[in-house]
Amino acid sequence: MTPKNNIIIGIIVALLVIASYNVDANPIDFVEGLPNLVIILEEIVAVEPKYIPTALWAMFETIQMAFIGTVVGIAIALPLSMLAARNLNSKFVYAPIRALLAAIRTFPSILWALLFVIMVGTGTFAGVLAIIMYTIGFITKLQYEAIETIDSDPMDAVGSIGVSKIQLISYVVIPESASHLLSQMLYMFDYNIRQTSILGLVGAGGIGFYIINYIKFFEYGKAAIFMLVVLITVLIIDWVSVKIRDKYIIKSQHGMDVPTK
């Protein structure tokens, strides 16, 4: 540990204390609040089981919203990513596209949801639109970065036989980056399910809509049941997508044989 490191750590600790004071983040309040969890637990046990099918249905609705949002978002994002990749386009093409995508990315999904609730009214459609916009902003960055890292030799070799730009993209760029793109799409779907679960907080449908309303009416037990459903679903989807990635994608990225079944 050099004196310089000590100074840096000291500064970080000092900033932490000052910021915590400013935002009123008191660890004592956290400890004192812990018994409240017990009250919530008691309420969960008291909730009638008839609410569980509703929670599951709301979760299913959320998954469908995330699915539409992800698929449509990616369909729009893929051509934009091709235009934003520096190894495929001149500065005059990729620079404005990147600026546009950066602007889209500045908004978190909940702000998009708020905007679409104002535009098309409350409900799941506003949530779907929000997920589409968020997906476009988020996945294009991952995709054009993946495209930029592909080996330039196949592109040079195929480019030198006089093929068109479209041919180069569909016969070289997409196959070469396919495993990365697929892995990112899977991750995006997984991520969008979590996001869609909270969009209901601003009235954009899905399971979050139930959660926020139960909380408003102090029905913490019911809210907690719905939150548990979200937690379990997210865990399952996370586990499934890790399995899919391991089995079909990671191996092909490392040039190993990919089982076809």
Partner 1 sequence: MKQIQMTTNPSFSLISTKKVIQMSDVWSSYDSKNFALEGINLSIDRGTIYSIVGQSGSGKSTLLKLMNGMMVPGKGIIKIDYVTPDMNNKKFKTMMHTIGYIPQSLGLIKNITVLDNILIGALPRLNKIQSLLKKFPENEVKEAKRILQLVGLTGKENRKVYMISGGEKRRVAIARALMQKPTILLADEIVSELDHVTAHEIMDLIIDVQKRTNLTAIMVHHDMQLALEYANRVAVIKDGKKILEIGVEGDNIVDFQTGDMTTEEIMEMYSDDPKK
Catalog residues that contact partner 1 under the rule CB under 8 A. 151, 153-164, 166-167, 170-172, 175-176, 178-179, 252, 255-258
Query: Closest CB to partner 1 among 29 and 257?
Result: 257
Distance of CA 212 to the CA centre of its chain: 21
Query: Closest CB to partner 1 among 148 and 176?
Result: 176
Q: What minimum distance in Å lies between the beta carbon of 129 and partner 1?
A: 30
Q: What minimum distance in Å lies between the beta carbon of 245 and partner 1?
A: 16
Q: What minimum distance in Å lies between the beta carbon of 157 and partner 1?
A: 3
For the chain, the first-to-last Cα distance in angstroms comes to 53
**What CA–CA distance (Å, rounded) separates 69 from 62?**
10
Alpha helices in the chain (DSSP H): 3-22, 27-46, 51-84, 91-106, 109-120, 124-148, 152-159, 165-168, 174-199, 207-216, 220-244, 251-253
Query: Closest CB to partner 1 among 123 and 159?
Result: 159
- The amino acid that residue 177 corresponds to is S
Q: What minimum distance in Å lies between the beta carbon of 165 and partner 1?
A: 11
- Which of 204, 191, 199, 187 shows the shortest CA–CA distance to 234? 191
Query: Closest CB to partner 1 among 100 and 163?
Result: 163
Q: What minimum distance in Å lies between the beta carbon of 188 and partner 1?
A: 21
- Any idea which residue has 């009638």 for tokens? 48
Query: Closest CB to partner 1 among 2 and 164?
Result: 164
- Which of 134, 104, 120 shows the shortest CA–CA distance to 194? 134
